[in-house]
Amino acid sequence: MRYELLFPKQLANAREKGWPFLLPLGTLEYHGPHCAYGCDGLIAQGLARRLEAERDLVILPTFWYGASSYAVGGPEKGTVHVDGEVLAQPLKGIFESLLEGGVRNITVLIHHQYEQENYMPTTLAAATAAKSVTMAYLERTRGRGWWGDNASSSYYSQLDESDNPFNWIRVLPCMSRDVQNATGYDHAGQFECSILAALYPEAVNMDDAGASDEWFIQSARQSSSEYGEKMAEMCLADLRLKLFHG
């Protein structure tokens, strides 16, 4: 279910049953002449919507303005960059609202700059916002010194359980390290073009791939939506395990 289309009774049901609330987080970034600027967010959004078709979950509106950086191309090439520290602020507001509203199963889904699951500015901003909001919420609702209070004596024994507060907001890659190693991972090349074409074929125009000699797009000519489907299914299998435990 899409959050913006929910009615209050549907939201209450999803919250009460502990459904996952997914926030696709992307960027608007130059991906060569043949890929749409929203490539990263579209991949996260597309995977979330495929999961929505088969499982009970809520998809929050995609947040498009990430810390894209100008490593690939400057603003003259269409990239929109939001500094990580600035990006963390609206994410804090989103997380605070959801926690205060009783949601305890929030996942930020990111494809941009998540090579081998290393934190880059966008993922770091999301993770920082998540942990700082969680800590502030715990202090606000349980009081200062909540962890040191004897009421928290079972803290460590409950860390692997569903009520672990530090699992209330998680940041996950669309493609885990294992999936990246199994399928390949790049920027606007063979692999990213393939999965984007599988999820949003209208976002890839291979007729324009030859308009640039940029090194990172040359392999795009080997991309295919068929291989992208295999990539997407591996991503989905991994996300099912992490979101639904199977």
Residue 204 lies in a domain: no
Beta bridge partners of 23: 108
Q: Which amino acid is at 196?
A: L
Tens digit of pLDDT at every position of the chain (246 positions): 999 999 999 999 999 999 999 999 999 999 999 999 999 999 999 999 999 999 999 999 999 999 999 999 999 999 999 999 999 999 999 999 999 999 999 999 999 999 999 999 999 999 999 999 999 999 999 899 887 888 877 777 777 656 789 899 999 999 999 999 999 999 999 999 999 999 999 999 999 999 999 999 999 999 999 999 999 999 999 999 999 985
- Is the residue at 27 inside a domain? yes
Q: How many domains does the chain have?
A: 1
Residue 115 lies in a domain: yes
Are the C-beta atoms of residues 194 and 227 closer than 8 Å to each other? yes
Question: Phi then psi for 32, rounded to 5 degrees?
Answer: 80, 175
Does 145 reside within a domain? yes
Q: Can you tell me the distance from the alpha carbon of 66 to that of 182, in angstroms, rounded to the nearest whole number?
A: 27
Q: Is residue 47 part of a domain?
A: yes
Nearest residue to 239 (alpha-carbon basis) of 180, 186, 172, 193:
172
For residue 55, what is the domain's CATH number? 3.40.50.10310
Amino acid at 19: W
Structural domain contains residue 52: yes
Could you tell me the residue range of the domain that residue 41 belongs to?
Answer: 3-175
In a domain, 133, yes or no: yes
In tens, the pLDDT along 114-163 reads 999 999 999 999 999 999 999 999 999 989 988 788 887 777 777 765 67
Q: Where are the beta strands (DSSP E) in 46-155?
A: 58-59, 106-110
Query: Does a structural domain hold residue 234?
Result: no
